[in-house]
Amino acid sequence: MSILIYAESAEGKFKKVAFELASYAKKVAETLGTTVTAVTVNAGNVSDLSKYGVDKVLKVNSEKLAGFTAKAYADVIRQAAEKENVKLVLLSSTTDSLYLAPLVAVALNAGYASNVVGLPLSTSPFQVKRNAFSNKAFNITEIATDVKVLGLAKNSYGVFENGSSLAEEDFSPAIGENDFGVKVQSVEKASGKVTIADAEIVVSGGRGLKGPENWGMLEELAGVLGAATACSKPVSDLGWRPHTEHVGQTGKPVAANLYIAIGISGAIQHIAGINSSKVKVVINADADAPFFKVADYGIVGDAFEIVPKLTQKLKEFKAQNS
């Protein structure tokens, strides 16, 4: 009856979302009077999970699972859930976990709620609050099935330490050939760059920056903050920046701790995509830009003057505080 989490790792190290998910699961487990079990795939050292309240870990180590294969990974999670007889399976909202969750739900005959924000509102009936309408509203969803799958929205709960004694167990689920109908050929990943998905801070530019040649100052600011760079839709449509940087309703969602919008007016579709970010800062020459209505902090003025000054101040601040 334990709660099962899929603790995601990359290159043998847990992602931060795995610890957020563990923290969340621990709290739910306390409410339900049960324990937290994690399943890991080729995760290396799993002891870090004990800091966040995980009681037991099922370690899967397999050459076959070296590349991500959704069907096989979903099969692993299903078998872990069945072995532990769990009623609640929790996943994060990374690209991989979003891919897995519906497969896991069907395999377990489970109802699935994605984009969940906050702890369950009630456990009988089982109700959760989730983001919907592209972050313009919340939707309270009731899951009627015996087994339930939840996808926790990124950065919606936080990471909380909660020590536990971790029981480790090797787990070897059956993985069949028909789990590998989709084969990874190659992976193209920019190395050494902070990705929008992993970033705690995102620095984003809009048409107000006037041209791709002006992105240097934005990248410099991002560099000082350890931030990812992003852009508005018009900027990616104009080809100033790659589509992978387009954030907004039809682009990537952003749920960062800090989102800095420079020269972005704040179209409703843009705001929808970044609204899950905790703190929003806007720098824009137009005091009437809609972004000022949703931002926490703002400066009205010329970005070409303000951004280099801000970068300089932050450099000084970092030097003093490190």
Partner 1 sequence: MKILVCISHVPDTTSKINFSNGDSEFDTNGVQFVINPNDEFGLTRAIWFQEQQGANVTVVNVGGADTEPTLRKALAIGANEAIRVNAAPTDGFFVAKQLAEVVKNGGYDLVIAGRESLDYNGGMVPGMLAGLLGYNFVNSCIELKVDGTNATVAREIDGGKEIVATSLPLIIGGQKGLVEEKDLRIPNMRGIMTARTKALTILEPVSAESNTKAVKFEKPAPKSAVKLFSADDIDGLVNALHNEAKVI
Residue selected from 50, 94, 156, 229 as contacting partner 1 according to rule CB under 8 A: 94
Q: Is 92 in the site for partner 1 (CB under 8 A)?
A: no
| Residue 104 near residue 110 (C-beta atoms within 8 A) | yes
Per CB under 8 A, the segment of 36-44, 109-117, 168-176, 207-215 that binds partner 1 is 109-117
Contacts of 315 (CB under 8 A, 6+ apart): 224
From residue 101, give the alpha-carbon distance in Å to each of 45, 137, 139, 201, 217. Answer: 25, 22, 19, 27, 39
Q: Is 181 in the site for partner 1 (CB under 8 A)?
A: yes
The answer to whether 124 is annotated as binding is no
Question: Is 72 part of any known ligand binding site?
Answer: no
**Whose Cβ is closer to partner 1: residue 167's or residue 184's?**
184
Q: Environment class of residue 214 by beta-carbon count within 10 Å: exposed (0-12), middle (13-18) or buried (19+)?
A: middle
Q: Which residues pair with 162 in a beta bridge?
A: 52
Among 103, 217, 231, 235, binds partner 1 (CB under 8 A): 103
Residue choice 99, 164, 168, 223 for contact with partner 1 (CB under 8 A): 99
For position 13 contacting partner 1 by CB under 8 A, the verdict is: no
Q: Which of 48, 51, 68, 160 binds partner 1 (CB under 8 A)?
A: 68
Only one residue has tokens 């079990």, namely 37
Using CB under 8 A, count the residues that bind partner 1.
95
Q: Tokens for 89?
A: 């399976």
**Could you say whether residue 106 binds partner 1 (CB under 8 A)?**
yes
3-state DSSP call for residue 223? helix
Name the β-bridge partners of 151.
91
Q: Does 241 bind partner 1 (CB under 8 A)?
A: no
Query: What 3 state SS string does 280-302 have?
Result: EEEEECCCCCCHHHHCCEEEECC
Return the beta strands (E) in 207-257 as ranges. Answer: 228-231
Distance of alpha carbon 242 from alpha carbon 253, whole angstroms: 16
Helix, strand, or coil (residue 2): coil
Binding region for partner 1 (CB under 8 A) out of 28-36, 41-49, 158-166, 238-246 = 238-246
Binding mask 186-215 for partner 1 (x = CB under 8 A): xxxxx--x-xxxx-xx--------------
Q: Least distance to partner 1 from the beta carbon of 282, Å?
A: 7
Residue 319 binds partner 1, judged by CB under 8 A: no
Q: Is 267 annotated as a binding residue?
A: yes
If one asks whether residue 304 binds partner 1 (CB under 8 A), the answer comes out as no
Q: Binding residue per annotation — 264?
A: yes
- Give the tokens for residue 164: 């536990």
Among 32, 132, 168, 219, binds partner 1 (CB under 8 A): 132
Please give the annotated binding residues, written as ranges. 207, 263-270, 284
Binding site members for FAD: 207, 263-270, 284
